[in-house]
Amino acid sequence: DQQVKQNSPSLSVQEGRISILNCDYTNSMFDYFLWYKKYPAEGPTFLISISSIKDKNEDGRFTVFLNKSAKHLSLHIVPSQPGDSAVYFCAANVDRGSTLGRLYFGRGTQLTVWP
């Protein structure tokens, strides 16, 4: 049973516009959320994270929003660039402390940014 869900397998956005990638989760014990970006033939790379005590975290063009009551988070990329074209994975962590890396991943969303 998928505890982290990314219901949109793909998203296509024009360069300069906003990209919004969505993620839903079912486990209320999750307390840390991350977004990873993956290019073909490479491993995922960390993009941005947010703790459950916050509702927003911003890093340059990337902002993550967390709505705990709705068990929903989103990643906003503004402005989108062609180099942002990649698969984006949402991930969540339930065991802080000794098992920080035990992440539950969504299925990913392929973002395509066209000129």
Partner 1 sequence: IAGITQAPTSQILAAGRRMTLRCTQDMRHNAMYWYRQDLGLGLRLIHYSNTAGTTGKGEVPDGYSVSRANTDDFPLTLASAVPSQTSVYFCASSQSGTEMSPLHFGNGTRLTVT
Choose between 65 and 105: whose C-beta lies nearer to partner 1. Answer: 105
Angle at 31 between CA 51 and CA 104, to 5 degrees: 110
Q: Where are the alpha helices (DSSP H) in the chain?
A: none
Choose between 42 and 60: whose C-beta lies nearer to partner 1. Answer: 42
CB of 42 to partner 1, least distance (A): 5
CB of 25 to partner 1, least distance (A): 13
Residues that bind partner 1 (CB under 8 A): 2, 4, 6, 32, 34, 41-46, 49, 51, 89, 91, 93, 96-108
CB of 12 to partner 1, least distance (A): 19
Choose between 2 and 81: whose C-beta lies nearer to partner 1. Answer: 2
Hey, how many other C-beta atoms are within 10 angstroms of the C-beta on 20?
16
Choose between 43 and 83: whose C-beta lies nearer to partner 1. Answer: 43
